[in-house]
A and B are shown apart, each in its own frame.
Chain A
Amino acid sequence: MNRDYSPKGVKFFYIYKTLAHPELAGNYVQPFTLEERLAHARQAERQLGGTIPWIVDAMDNRLKHALGDRPNSEFIMNPEGIIVRKRQWSHPAQVRKDLETLVGPVDHVTKEEDVVLNLQVPIKAPAARGVLPRLRRGKMQPLVMEPLIEPGRPPFFAKLRAEADQRLMTQGAGQLYVGFHLDPFHNAHWNNLTEPLSFELEVPEGVKIDKLRYGAPKVEVTSDADPREFLLNIEAWPEGQPIRLTVTYFACVGEESCHTVRQEYTLHRRRDEDAGGARGEGAGFWEADEFSEQLISGDTDKDGKLSRSEVRGLVLPHFETLDQDGDGLLDADELRTVSDWLNFHHKPGKPSSELKFNP
């Protein structure tokens, strides 16, 4: 379409935004700095091999926020800058129809098979993966967290991903996922000949937690690139009172350049709406009991079952399929099967090498 409509003066741009699904398709993680996000966009240009230029949203995600907060939305503006078309999911065939209406038809329509894209593989990890078993976590919500970024200090070779289960997010008591994922853009691997990664927590008064210092297991191979993951039980974490985390690890870039790194984060008990939904080998599963409990909270008439009017979201369109006994209500057993059904259809846990990237 770019080839067909560029001669007619139409400009096409991709907008590089926060990752929709961290850990997917290359084990990419959310960038912390603008320089890192710019590197993502340059990688997207190379990896996706197209001729459409990218522009990059700022780190406060101002353009995403200004245009409705969707991961793959699409807008057409006229020469005066007025929005003349918008849709929440990109739909190239529909864009072509729009342009035929707005600008006019083209003499020759380029077909998909006429376009040769110079696709490149995602950045490869510099050391083995699959050495440590992944911690399989249910569908959790990303927390707002602030890395302490100071000029002159080493980059965040490993980046924290902090997620809370539903109970922790709403009641302050539940499970906290703490995962340190090596950022492929820094090309670093763990140095397992030294002390394993460890972190310390500073929690508000009254918070109950298993312990305040955690250490990753010793790994026998000299280096690897697997995330270091932890699941913590927390109680009585008040909203508005952050937890501070300090992590220490040893990361190497190549054989020679090794760094002892100490980095700090502030974690808030608040959902980060821009952090995306992690998917990959360890993330994005729907856990039967928790998901069932979450769904049953919509039981407004308190009969222990959900009628069609009490169901929302992903489940609603498939209500009849999931209502196995056909009584018009989803009971506890049927609700537990919902998570199996979602896991089957949405395929979380698929190794990232088997998934295609999705611009």
Chain B
Amino acid sequence: MRFISLTLLTMVVMTIPSDVQAQKGKKDQEATFVKSSPRIGEMLPDVTVYAPEGTQISTADLRGYYTVLTFGCLT
């Protein structure tokens, strides 16, 4: 029991600093991304994309309302 407690304590002590560092790394990456172009306050770039049926869409057509865009894929 004492061995298990010591092992758990060691794992916790070893894990906390690495998790803190991992969080810091993620925050740094996020900050870099937010500062990259296009920045907040700039226009969404105007490019041609497609509806799943193949119709062309301009990203400029998305104006006129608040829009949330999220990148994703099947994997």
Residues of A within 8 A of B (CB): 5, 9-26, 28, 34-35, 38, 40-45, 47, 53-58, 62-64, 66-68, 70-90, 95, 99, 102-103, 122, 276, 279, 316-321, 357-359
Contact = CB atoms under 8 A, between A and B. Distances in A.
Contacts of B49: 15, 55-58, 62-63
Given A13-B67, A13-B68, A83-B42, A19 B34 contact: no
Contacts of B60: 81
B51 interface: yes
Given A56-B51, A73-B70, 8 more contacts: A12-B67, A13-B68, A62-B49, A72-B71, A74-B68, A79-B64, A82-B41, A317-B18
A317 B21 contact: yes
Q: What 8 pairs between A and B have smallest CB-CB spacing?
A: A317-B22, A359-B72, A317-B21, A88-B33, A66-B45, A81-B63, A41-B52, A56-B50
Contacts of A76: 66-69
Instruction: Report whether over half of chain B's contact residues are helix, strand or loop; otherwise say mixed.
Output: mixed
Interface string B42-58: 11110111111110010
A45 to B, nearest CB: 6
A86 B73 CA distance: 19
Contact of B72 (A16, A23, A53, A75): A16
B8 to A, nearest CB: 15
Contact of B62 (A11, A17, A24, A41): A11
Given A38-B54, A56-B49, A83 B70 contact: no
A71 B70 CA distance: 9
A26 B74 contact: yes
B70 to A, nearest CB: 5
